[in-house]
Amino acid sequence: MKKRGLMKLFAMALVLALVFEAFVSPVKGVKAAEQFGSTVSVKTKALKKAKANIAISLNGVSLTGKAFTVKGKVDGVKDTFVYVPAQELVALGGGQYTEKGKKVTISVDDAKITFKQKKNSYTITVKNEYGKKEKFTLKCGTAYKKDGQIYVPLQLIDYIAMFTDNMMDYELDTKAKTLDISVYPAGNMIVGGWSEPDTPDVPEELVNFFTYANEANKDDEQIIPVAVLEQQVVAGMNYKLLCRISNPSKNVSEVFAIVVIYVDLQGNVEVTSEEKTNIETNINGLPGGWSQFESAAFPPEYLAVFEGAISQLDGVSYKPVALVSQQVVNGINLCILCEATVVYPGAEPYYVFVYAYVNPLTQTGEITDFKRLDTGSQGSEVPVDDNNGTGNQDSGDDKGLKIPGSENAVEGVDYKQMSGNYYAVTSLAGLAKVCEMEELPNGEFKTNIAGIKNDIIIDVPIETLGYVEINDGAVVVIEKGGVLQASIDIAEGCQIIVKDGGKLQTTMGGELCVQNRGEIIIEKGGLMQSMFGGTINNFKEGKITIDGDFYCGCVNFDNSDHVWFVNQGTVSGKGKVSLYGRGMDGKVDLNVDYCMSEMKKMLGDNTKITVVFDDTIDF
């Protein structure tokens, strides 16, 4: 029979944590020891008869002492308890153990536990966050001397872990007579879930693992770890790593990838998954080229520069996760992995590479590019006529890429399947690359499109939660009835032209929003709209002409007003900008004058564009 202590101990730890938080409030220190938690009673007769025959391991290391189980009561209710040898367990866990007569003292970090054998009273002394000592009394089972060792209930070890900001899990197999105990830092840890590491630096044992593997496979795939993104405590540890992947035997560029590693309790390492991106690392180590940092930890001296540069972009918050690589030029180019979150409640974070230029003389920075860390889609299959895998090359027929759930099937499209649910569309009538079908709660589908390289015309609604690149000099024309709603990156030399009755808009809560380094032209009768959470960023190379309408969303969030537009380039035209929005309490409690002032400032003094606030626009 196996018994896991995870849920029981975790639930108790949460309750005790709340009690502990109340006890260490800043009102005043507790002079006398406070008792809390349930009272466990175990009779001396039962302890004397129990046989210590259960093998113990702590974090994979075997103890020489044995554990035993014993019957008792918790608040008068019968239960079974596990007893473990205190001295060896504490020593292996890095604590100090002293025994004077019948009195035992255990010290772990800032916590000290004192008790006497054959007594059901444990006093824990800890320092609260204000440096004051607090005392608590636990009655979790009588301490007892057996086979020359002091035995204590396993629950006491759980209390020690909790008071030292750790978490404990155990698995007891009564049939195999084994007890496996795991103690690990709590921090932001969710038991069984992924959490952020204390440092993004890759552990030495994993660096060595890849070094040996790469040496053994010189002519095959090479994996170089860059940073730890997340970790997960299991029976061992899972690590989610940002890595560089190349293959000397193939003529391919080195790209970034997400690699998951499992390390068991014995230290054995295994690659369990690998997902490549299409983002080239450009790392070559040559003079004037990009090189990887020795440490992935984001240095404090760059933080002020980064925050100054990123503050110019509104609507999305960026938290540096790791410093990936640098290029020394007339200054320094940096590649920074960030966790990005759209500024609205409930938004899910995602990873993005932020490229920045740092001027070492002025200690100022400038954001030069963004690339989302995306390992591809896991969407459902798309039924297509692909001519037995060779691709449809008959753009004049009535067949083509059918979008499930959509009345606006894209017909007459030349395309070729690239890999999985990823299609490169080659005809001018197509939508370039189509991927990642997503079924929404209402049963409808949204399709992600990316990589537009040809001139295309959109005259049907194209709404996607995905990411669209417009590059290679492409021109996208949105005609009457056409809608392009997505996270869009417009490269230099490319255009989006919104005709009368057409609409260009960001995704609500969009990720990279609309980033313009090319040109956006809103003709009379056309509409551009930044939805709630989706900013339109016009970079210094970008140009926007507004002769139609621009609906710009605003919001008051955390007592701060946000305008979903950032302009570093050129804006001209004779159209109208209509600001709209509200506070997060559902009311229009924005500082309207501030929002209008910010918009006028970004448009410039020479513009003939009218700026108004219109609370009738649907938020």
DSSP 38: P
Contacts of residue 208, defined as CB under 8 A and 6 or more positions apart, other chains included, come to none
d(C-alpha 604, C-alpha 438), whole Å = 41
Q: Which of 395, 397, 329, 325 is nearest to 359 (CA)?
A: 329
Q: Which pLDDT belongs to residue 533?
A: 62
- Determine contact, residues 104/98, Cβ cutoff 8 Å: yes
- Determine contact, residues 476/484, Cβ cutoff 8 Å: yes
Count of all residues that appear for the chain in the document? 619
Ranges 73-87, 122-136, 503-517, most confident: 73-87
The band of 459, judged by pLDDT with boundaries at 50, 70 and 90, is low
Q: Which of 53, 82, 99, 90 is nearest to 141 (CA)?
A: 82
| Mean pLDDT confidence for 316-343 | 86
d(C-alpha 130, C-alpha 110), whole Å = 13
Would you list the DSSP string of 562-590?
A: EESEEESSEEE-S-EEEEEEEETTSS--S
Q: Which pLDDT belongs to residue 226?
A: 95
Q: Which of 157, 119, 114, 158 is nearest to 139 (CA)?
A: 119
Half-sphere exposure of 268 (CA within 13 A, CB side): 6
Q: pLDDT over 90 for what percent of the chain?
A: 24
Residue 98, Ramachandran bin (φ over 0: left; ψ between -120 and 50: alpha; else beta)? beta
- Global pTM reads 0.45
The band of 413, judged by pLDDT with boundaries at 50, 70 and 90, is very low
d(C-alpha 318, C-alpha 228), whole Å = 18
Q: Which of 106, 89, 85 is nearest to 97 (CA)?
A: 106
CA angle 377, 252, 371 (to 5 degrees): 45
Pairing mode, strands 527-530 and 503-505: parallel
Q: Which residue has the higher pLDDT, 405 or 453?
A: 453
- Determine contact, residues 396/407, Cβ cutoff 8 Å: no
In SS3 terms, 134-155 reads as EEEEECECCCEEECCEEEEEHH
Q: Which pLDDT belongs to residue 619?
A: 60
Contacts of residue 213, defined as CB under 8 A and 6 or more positions apart, other chains included, come to 223
Q: Cβ–Cβ contacts within 10 Å for residue 439, how many? A: 13
The band of 335, judged by pLDDT with boundaries at 50, 70 and 90, is very high
Q: Which of 504, 558, 507, 514 is nearest to 532 (CA)?
A: 507
Asked whether the predicted pLDDT for residue 577 surpasses 90, the reply is: yes
d(C-alpha 604, C-alpha 543), whole Å = 13
Here the tokens at position 479 are 């005609």
